């Protein structure tokens, strides 16, 4: 709602606090900082500014222009036209957080459908109405676990194969709590898919065990022993999942995870330079009250008609500020809607098809690498989904530059986060990549080797 | 409103009964009536925790509100009424018997002197 102040309103307000001019409100700010001289270029007309901005924007190269094998947490999937079309309807686009069910049925129903779809996808019992992105959702799992054990289990065991940026965000979130220890992701524990070194660190002080599925390297590891051991010690298990992979894989709920979370961007949200994205977060019934944010439920109104309401907000700040564990509310409302429309448009079969196409195309691509000199496929002995790691004889930087010159985003340089994976490249293959695209990549790479 | 004679009361609507140094603590009939239907109880402590009077014990959520319960006495927690987790309505049905919350090995009997007797509590809630 926009509520303008008239000149008279402003005068009345100033008078009531004993001031004459609005500038007097800012006298606390030292004079030299109050109205500093800004070194700005000469002003432009709207037409000139629009021209300049679009010329700057046209310098960008996107996945529309180049072939992309970049993944590492954000994936270039096809987005059906219906998603944007429905998303940009004014009724949804401008809707505010649904505190008043009387006037928010559409938004509430959309959130309810989103929660239901996430539960179906993850095999969990309850989902909240979203987080900012996968990384902040991962941090919320740590907060949840810490509050679940009331700070009595200070150890958070996080696999080194969880997205490195997620682990950074977790550390940022938890830096204010000196008791919480984030461990298990050091080089010594390593990234072996059998996770022996990792499992041996689970103990009675462990509040949370976090693994990624498929992991950051695209591998589908068998986490049953991790989960079983964690539960033997009474710890909670959080699985960071790629939703697209769940079209094929056993859902985390069935594997025994207590928390399933992840990045919802692959569900109909454009790459868009890193955001806005969508964090999803679902738990088993036992953790229902610990879930941050809000839950929308289905009910009937006084006339017996189907209606949607905010059913539970046990940890939300506007209910009990001092007991809140999070500032999360409905959050990425528009992005949840995009994911909801995406999943609805694809349907169960369509979604499984996307998942299967990603899997098959990635495996076809990986197979090609076996035949290109100068490259070694590292995932060979572990099942993988739509991402895999190759080791290059040539420095990765040079390789990526060469690919870029051929209009290919080659992949993610793993050496920047993993010293043990120097000159290793993480490649993602989605349904958008055609066989011709893959053959082109192979041609360019063979050329690299012969250069 | 039931206010049993033999109990001691705290201003924040907890009752306590000490038998052989063991304090049983709950919320009063007045408290459960004000809250209306209780739907959830969450304990903030574990058995064997050392607690002080004034420490937070539990949060009780009803269809109307969420209320904090605080310890009226200090000591060591020896028992928590786990049946309330699945049947929180016992707090409404039987606040002084089946709806007890926590038992504490009371550290200091003199703390009872800071609490109200039934008559004082009856006056205290009169104007609320």
pLDDT tens profile A265-274: 999 999 999 9
Kindly tell me if the per-residue pLDDT of A96 is higher than 80.
no
The domain limits of chain A are 67-78+347-450, 81-342
CB contact under 8 Å between A323 and B66, yes or no, is yes
The CATH code of domain A81-342 reads 3.40.640.10
Q: How many CB atoms lie within 10 A of CB B117?
A: 14
Could you give the percent of chain A with pLDDT greater than 90? 81
Structure tokens at B8: 């001691």
Q: Which of A88-97, A385-394, B19-28 is the least confident region?
A: A88-97
SS3 content of chain B, % helix, strand, coil (to 5): 25, 35, 40
Give A-chain residues touching B46 at CB under 8 angstroms.
150, 152
Domains of chain B: 8-110 (2.40.50.100)
Which of A150, A289, A319 minimises the CB distance to B44? A150
SS3 of A287, please? Answer: helix
Which of B42, B44, B46 minimises the CB distance to A289? B42
- pLDDT at position B10 is 95
> What is the chain A residue with the closest CA to B60?
A314
Give B-chain residues touching A150 at CB under 8 angstroms.
44, 46
Q: What's the mean pLDDT in A253-279?
A: 96
CB pairs under 8 A between A and B: 11
Residues 299-338 of A with CB under 8 A from B: 314, 319-320, 323
Kindly tell me if the per-residue pLDDT of A112 is higher than 90.
yes
pLDDT tens-digit map of B51-105: 999 999 999 988 888 889 999 999 999 999 999 999 999 999 999 999 999 999 9
**Whole-prediction pTM:** 0.88
Q: DSSP H helical segments within A328-395, as ranges? A: 333-369
How many degrees, rounded to 5, is the angle at CA B102 between CA B100 and CA B107? Answer: 130
Q: How many CB atoms lie within 10 A of CB A184?
A: 24
Instruction: Inform me whether the C-beta atom of residue B42 falls under 8 Å from chain A C-beta atoms.
Output: yes
> What is the chain A residue with the closest CA to B58?
A323
Within a 13 Å sphere around the CA of A40, how many CA atoms are in the beta-carbon half?
A: 6
Picking from A249, A196, A243, A247, the residue whose alpha carbon sits closest to that of residue A220 is A249
- pLDDT at position A312 is 81
pLDDT band at A292 (very low <50, low <70, confident <90, very high): confident
> What is the chain B residue with the closest CA to A322?
B68
Instruction: Tell me the CA distances in angstroms from A169 to A100, A163, A174, A207, B59, one per residue in order.
Output: 33, 10, 9, 18, 31
Q: What's the mean pLDDT in A227-256?
A: 98
DSSP β-bridge partners for residue B22 = B19, B105
Residues 117-156 of A with CB under 8 A from B: 150, 152
Kindly tell me if the per-residue pLDDT of A71 is higher than 70.
yes
Kindly tell me if the per-residue pLDDT of A1 is higher than 60.
no
Structure tokens at A189: 């524990």
pLDDT tens-digit map of A15-26: 999 999 999 999
Q: How many CB atoms lie within 10 A of CB B41?
A: 23
Instruction: Inform me whether the C-beta atom of residue B40 falls under 8 Å from chain A C-beta atoms.
Output: yes
Could you give the percent of chain B with pLDDT greater than 90? 82
DSSP β-bridge partners for residue B80 = B102
Residues 82-121 of B with CB under 8 A from A: none
- pLDDT at position A136 is 96
The CATH code of domain A67-78+347-450 reads 3.90.1150.10
pLDDT tens-digit map of A409-439: 999 999 999 999 999 999 999 999 999 999 9
Picking from A182, A166, A174, the residue whose alpha carbon sits closest to that of residue A74 is A166
pLDDT tens-digit map of A312-368: 876 666 666 666 777 776 678 899 999 999 999 999 999 999 999 999 999 999 999
Q: What's the mean pLDDT in A290-297?
A: 88
- pLDDT at position A99 is 74
pLDDT tens-digit map of A8-66: 999 999 999 999 999 999 999 998 888 888 999 999 999 999 999 999 999 999 999 99
- Please name the residue that has the structure tokens 């006084």: A302
Strand order in the sheet with B8-9: B8-9, B14-19, B22-27, B102-106, B75-80, B50-51
């Amino acid at each position: 709602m926009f509520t303008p102040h008239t000149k008279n309103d402003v005068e009345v307000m100033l008078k009531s606090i004993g001031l004459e001019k609005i500038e007097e409100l800012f006298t606390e700010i030292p004079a030299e900082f109050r109205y500093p001289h800004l070194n700005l270029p000469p002003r432009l007309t709207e037409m000139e500014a629009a021209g300049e901005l679009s010329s700057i924007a046209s310098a960008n190269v996107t996945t529309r222009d180049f072939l992309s094998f970049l993944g590492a947490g954000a994936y270039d999937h096809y987005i059906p036209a219906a998603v944007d079309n429905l998303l940009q309807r004014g009724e949804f686009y401008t809707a505010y957080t649904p505190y008043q069910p009387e006037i928010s049925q559409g938004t509430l129903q959309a959130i309810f459908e989103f929660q239901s779809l996430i539960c179906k996808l993850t095999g969990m019992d309850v989902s909240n109405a979203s987080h900012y992105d996968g990384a902040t959702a991962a941090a919320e799992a740590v907060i949840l676990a810490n509050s679940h054990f009331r700070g009595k289990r200070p150890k958070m065991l996080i696999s080194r194969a969880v997205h490195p940026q997620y682990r950074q965000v977790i550390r940022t979130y938890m830096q204010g709590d000196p008791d919480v220890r984030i461990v298990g992701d050091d080089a010594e524990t390593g990234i072996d898919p059998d996770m022996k070194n990792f499992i041996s660190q689970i103990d009675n002080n462990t509040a949370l065990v976090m693994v990624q599925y498929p992991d950051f390297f695209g591998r589908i590891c068998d986490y049953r022993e991790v989960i079983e051991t964690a539960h033997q010690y009474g710890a909670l298990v959080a699985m960071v999942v790629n939703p697209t992979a769940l079209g094929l894989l056993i859902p985390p709920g069935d594997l025994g995870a207590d928390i399933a979370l992840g990045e919802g961007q692959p569900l109909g949200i454009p790459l868009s330079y890193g955001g806005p994205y969508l964090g999803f977060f679902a738990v088993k019934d036992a953790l229902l009250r610990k879930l941050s944010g809000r839950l929308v439920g289905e009910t009937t109104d006084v006339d017996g008609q189907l209606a949607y309401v905010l059913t539970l907000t046990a940890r939300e700040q506007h209910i009990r500020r001092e007991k809140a564990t999070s500032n999360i509310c409905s959050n990425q409302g528009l992005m949840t809607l995009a994911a909801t429309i995406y999943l609805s448009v694809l349907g169960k079969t369509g979604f499984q098809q996307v998942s299967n196409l990603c899997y098959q195309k990635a495996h076809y691509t990986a197979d090609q690498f076996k035949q290109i000199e100068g490259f070694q496929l590292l995932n060979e002995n572990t099942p993988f989904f739509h991402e895999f790691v190759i080791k290059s004889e040539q420095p990765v930087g040079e390789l990526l530059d060469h690919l870029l010159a051929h209009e290919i985003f080659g992949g993610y340089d793993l050496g920047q986060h993993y010293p043990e994976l120097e000159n290793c490249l993480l490649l993602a293959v989605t349904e958008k990549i055609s066989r011709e695209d893959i053959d082109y990549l192979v041609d360019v790479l063979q050329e690299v080797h012969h250069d | 409103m039931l206010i049993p004679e033999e109990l001691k009361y705290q201003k924040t609507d907890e009752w306590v009964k000490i038998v052989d140094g063991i304090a049983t603590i709950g919320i009063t009939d007045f408290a459960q009536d004000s809250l209306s239907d209780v739907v959830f109880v969450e304990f903030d402590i574990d058995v064997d925790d050392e607690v002080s009077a004034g420490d937070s014990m539990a949060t009780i959520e009803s269809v109307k509100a969420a209320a904090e319960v605080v310890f009226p006495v200090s000591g060591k927690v020896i028992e928590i009424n786990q049946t309330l987790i699945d049947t929180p309505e016992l707090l409404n049905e039987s606040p002084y018997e089946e709806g007890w919350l926590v038992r504490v090995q009371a550290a200091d009997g003199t703390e009872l002197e800071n609490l109200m007797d039934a008559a004082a509590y009856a006056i205290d809630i009169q104007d609320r």
